[in-house]
Amino acid sequence: RYEKLWLGLSLLLIVGFIATITYGAVGAGVTMVDNGETLNPNDLGDHPKFGDPGVEQVGPNEYDVYVVAQQFVFRPGTTIAGQPPITVPANSTVNFYITSADVIHGFSVVGTNANTMAIPGEVAEVTVEVGGPQEYGIVCHEYCGQGHHNMEGLMQVV
Ligand code: CUA
């Protein structure tokens, strides 16, 4: 007698989960950029942006930040691996462009809406409005191999 009710509830739960996942992907402003450009993850060295990734000022208060994720380093970001921190001025708009040089990684700037995947051959884009001076941790939240749990970085708003 209650079977139909349970079935209905289960379906509702499943729909709810899917809606949550979809909303999460869209709500966080995560966009996979496809500008038609071929991005070879094994040969980022000659790429105009990812060849020498980092922070670039593109407006009065706007910055593009190119980041390459690779086992188990963010370039830039992972200071414990000798990389500079990602440093941006306070009260600015920060556009992140993230790719991977090997496997799928995560890129999450803890405490901000920047939370995306770094996929080889693709560029993920996410924009963050930063406020006053503060330090933010960056973590890889996709399992990417033995060093995954140590894959982290630093963003400084100065
Ligand atoms: Cu990179 Cu987990």
* Domain assignment of residue 13, yes or no: no
Checking if the pLDDT of 30 tops 90, the result is no
* Domain assignment of residue 25, yes or no: no
Number of helices and strands in the chain (H, E): 1, 11
* Domain assignment of residue 17, yes or no: no
Domain region containing 60: 31-157
Is the beta carbon of 109 within 6 A of some atom in ligand 1? no
User: Which of ligand 1's atoms lies nearest the C-alpha of 149?
Assistant: 2
* Domain assignment of residue 131, yes or no: yes
Between residues 8 and 30, the one the model is more confident about: 8
Residue-wise pLDDT tens digits, 72-96: 999 999 999 999 999 999 999 999 9
* Domain assignment of residue 117, yes or no: yes
* Domain assignment of residue 9, yes or no: no
Interface predicted TM-score (ipTM) over 0.95? yes
Is the beta carbon of 119 within 6 A of some atom in ligand 1? no
Q: What is the CATH number of the domain that holds 124?
A: 2.60.40.420
User: Which of ligand 1's atoms lies nearest the C-alpha of 144?
Assistant: 2
CA distance readout (Å), 31 to 95, 98, 133, 152: 11, 11, 27, 22
CA distance readout (Å), 13 to 5, 6, 21, 63: 12, 10, 12, 41
* Domain assignment of residue 73, yes or no: yes
For the chain, how many structural domains are there in total? 1
* Domain assignment of residue 95, yes or no: yes
pLDDT of residue 9: 80
Cβ proximity of 101 and 42 under 8 Å? yes
